[in-house]
Structure 1
Amino acid sequence: MATLVFLHAHPDDEATSTGGTMALAHDLGHRVVWICCTDGSQGTRTGDADESVSQVRRREARASAEILGVDRLVFLEHQDSGMHGWASNNDPEAFMNVDPQVVGADVAGILDEEDADVLVGYDWHGNYGHPDHIMVHKVMNAAADQAARRPRVLQATMNRDAMRDGYDPELGGIDPDAPGDDGNPFGTPESELAWKVNVNETVMRKRAALAAHESQEDAKQLLAIPDEFFALGFRHEYFIEEGRGPMVEAWPFD
């Protein structure tokens, strides 16, 4: 069995991008570690004076981790940068402004503690250009380089071609060819992907993990999708692995 470390930017990113794979890995007997890089403080505010946004999101992250079968959850507690162009981007403490080598060393320490076999992060533009997602990509590479035993590195992404096939402008949804947060199209062309993971067995656990983040508007929008359409739309998760291709539908961690 392998130890898989998932590096995510915010609470709820684990559910939307790799929740099915994390749950399936747990079911197959692998050790699942989730590192959450930011405090999520730029997320939706609840109006509850007793808890800050970051406190709420930490609590929700723990609930999601339990649903997905995460064996260890680590909070790095960097400050959420918010979306591209927000005033919060200018804070020197924001995650987007960190030194990726320094944070990479912190992540490498966890990789060493776990003797990790695999590190999962994001593609070069974080799927849709969120500055914290882009930083996760940089930290992922820095951590892999600094680990005592270099893990396999997979990059979670979206299949732009599959998204395009399913997009109907009359019905709404995300146009994958529209500019994302950084001006680039969403996800990655299928020709650049290595792995298509069928998570049909765990897709409703992925949905339940997303529901654990009940305070967040983004989560609520996805949860408004009826169960049967959610299962169809989210039954596959996609990964880049340098040196591997063309894309195959298979479990990457045998």
Structure 2
Amino acid sequence: MTTIVFLHAHPDDESTQTSGAMARASAEGDRVVVVYATNGDHGDAPEDLADGETVVHRRRVEAEASAQATGTQQIVWLGYADSGMSGWDQNDAEDALHGADVDVVAKQLAAVLDEEDADVLVGYDWHGNYGHPDHVKVHHVAHRAAELAARRPRLLESTMNRTRMAADRQARLDRGEKVDWDPSAPMDDGNPLGSTEEEISWEVDVSPYLEQRRAAVRAHESQGDTAWMRSMPDEEFATMFGAEYYIEPGRTEPIEKGWPFRPPD
């Protein structure tokens, strides 16, 4: 059995980025742990919040439902506040992840890695896919925690295949379809989305787990920014979410189709 720890910035990030690998690992008998760096308190407040219920409470409930969908065995909360997008006032809040000391957060994560005797740790690429301050911090925290852990885990970075998305966009434009979104356009930090295929190490086939992926996305129904994913037609959902992409720092070989969620050699 392999123990895989997935570090995510906010509750719902796991559903859109790594839920396929999480479901596949669970189905194959591995132990899956998800660590949320923040409580997602700056997410959308649903209209049906009960008296005394908070956004944080609702998002925890939704995270648990997502874990049920993917077979995740353990959820850990590091307890930081959502920092908001680049330039927001929340960036400078006292308890925001953005301003937290990397070593302090990494020690918290390393304690989880040690307790779980983790074989693999999954974080984000260098700019957190689209530049969100919390996602960028996750990148640095994951790298530092891997160094601090008593037994260094195999480190992978979740990313998005910009080359593939740009090609799909162009094909749709060539068919005369209207496409408003461009993955090569500047995102929150001014950089384009994700990574080029030349930068990516692994393409992971998760197509047999699309039902679990969709259930994980739908679990976070309070959040409006993923509503378009929840309502996506099956064929389009399969095209977008049938594969996941990961960078393995230090690996120089071209992108490979495979399953990198194994202990380091």
Identity of aligned residues (%): 51
Of 213, 218, 236, which residue of structure 1 is paired with 2:220? 213
Taking the TM superposition and a 5 Å limit, the aligned residue runs for 1:74-93 are 74-93=76-95
Shift of 1:109: 0.5
Q: Secondary structure at the match of 1:42?
A: coil
Displacement of 1:130: 0.5
SS at match of 1:105: helix
Give the Cα separation in 2 of the matches to 1:174 and 1:205. Answer: 26
Provide the rounded CA distance (Å) in 2 between the counterparts of 1:107 and 1:212: 25
Which of these residues, 164, 189, 197, is aligned with residue 182 of structure 1?
Answer: 189
Distance 1:249 1:30 in 2: 20
Q: How far has the Cα of 1:192 moved from its partner?
A: 0.9
Pair 1:104-2:106 in alignment? yes
Match of 1:246 in 2: 254
Once residues 32 and 218 of structure 2 are traced to their aligned partners in structure 1, the CA distance between those partners, rounded to angstroms, is 20
The runs of 5 or more residues in structure 2 that have no matched partner are none
Match of 1:125, SS? coil
Q: How far has the Cα of 1:172 moved from its partner? A: 2.5
> Which residue pairs with 2:38 in the alignment?
38
Q: 1:224 maps to which residue?
A: 231
Letter aligned with residue 158 of structure 1: M
Aligned to 1:235: 242
- Deviation for aligned residue 1:173: 5.0
Looking at structure 2, the residues matched to 118 and 13 of structure 1 have their Cα atoms a distance apart, in angstroms, of 18
Structure 1: which 4+ aligned runs deviate by more than 3 Å? none
Provide closer, same or farther for how the CA distance between residues 248 and 145 of structure 1 changes in structure 2, counting only shifts above 3 A.
same
Q: What are structure 1's unaligned runs of at least 5 residues? A: none
| 2:205 is equivalent to residue 198 of structure 1 | yes
RMSD: 1.2
Taking the aligned partners of 1:243 and 1:82, their CA distance within structure 2 comes to 31
1:132 match: secondary structure: helix
For 2:233, give the aligned amino acid.
Answer: P
**Aligned partner of residue 156 in structure 1, secondary structure:** strand
The one-character-per-residue Cα deviations of 1:200-251 (angstroms, maximum 9, x if unpaired) are 0102211111100000001212112112210121100000002222110111
Is this contact kept in 2: 1:204–1:231, CA < 8 A? no
Secondary structure of 1:202 counterpart: helix
Shift of residue 39, structure 1, vs aligned partner: 0.6
Decide which moves more: 232-241 or 87-96: 87-96
Q: Within 2, Cα distance between the matches of 1:171 and 1:132?
A: 32
TM-score in terms of structure 1 length: 0.97
**Is this contact kept in 1: 2:125–2:139, CA < 8 A?**
yes
**1:193, 1:240 within 8 Å by CA — same for their partners in 2?**
yes
Contact 2:92 2:98 in 1 (8 A): no
Change (3 A) 1:207 1:173: farther
User: Is the Cα–Cα contact under 8 Å of residues 204 and 245 in structure 2 kept in the other structure?
Assistant: yes
Superposed, 1:159-170 pairs within 5 Å as 159-167=161-169, 168=172, 170=177
CA distance in 2, matches of 1:27, 1:3: 13
Are 1:156 and 2:163 counterparts? no
Tell me which residue corresponds to 1:24: 24
Q: Distance in 2 between matches of 1:109 and 1:236?
A: 31
State the alpha-carbon separation in 2 of the partners of residues 70 and 200 from structure 1. Answer: 18
Counterpart Cα distance in 1 of 2:74 and 2:231: 30
User: How far apart, CA to CA, are the structure 1 residues paired with 2:33 and 2:202?
Assistant: 20
Give the C-alpha shift of residue 253 in structure 1: 2.7
Q: Tell me, yes or no, if the aligned pair for 1:192 and 1:240 is still in contact at 8 Å.
A: yes
Q: Structure 2: which amino acid aligns with 1:249?
A: K
How far, CA to CA, are the matches of 1:93 and 1:211 in structure 2? 29
For 1:54-95, what per-residue CA distance to the aligned partner results, in whole angstroms no more than 9, with x for missing partners?
A: 111011001101110001110112000111122211212211
